[in-house]
Amino acid sequence: MPTLNFAVLEELRDFMEEDVFTLIDEFEIDTQERLSLVEKAIQDQDAETLRTMAHTMKGGAASLGAENLSQHFRGLELRGRDASFCDIQQDFSNTQRSFAEAMLSIRRWLEGVK
């Protein structure tokens, strides 16, 4: 699955114009904060926090066209729903890597549209 669906970003830019830059900045900051909460939820085996944080981030990622990242969050959401913490650290690491890749792709896209 590609890192980004650029058509979604283009639609956002067409609709939001310059505000898309603020939206992307807020997404990055918010996701970093929520990833910290997810990491703590994993450590504490707090299934409900894991589920709700992952669910929220799944939607945010999808709204920016970060489909691969959204799928990683979906996997964490399901882990939270099922309270399945066995070997979850690899899934979390993959999600962090996918977030970094998505943000890199978004930043490159931004450079081309400014």
CATH (domain of 27): 1.20.120
Q: What is the pLDDT of residues 45-103, one digit of tens each?
A: 999 999 999 999 999 999 999 999 999 999 999 999 999 999 999 999 999 999 999 99
Question: Residue 28 sits in which domain range?
Answer: 6-113
Q: Return the amino acid letter for 85.
A: F
- Domains held by the chain: number: 1
Indicate the Cα dihedral angle 91, 93, 53, 39, nearest 10°. Answer: 110
Residue 63: half-sphere exposure toward Cβ, Cα within 13 Å: 14
- Residue 25, domain member (yes or no): yes
- Residue 62, domain member (yes or no): yes
Q: Distance between CA atoms of 49 and 27, rounded to whole angstroms?
A: 19
- Residue 1, domain member (yes or no): no
pTM metric for this prediction = 0.92
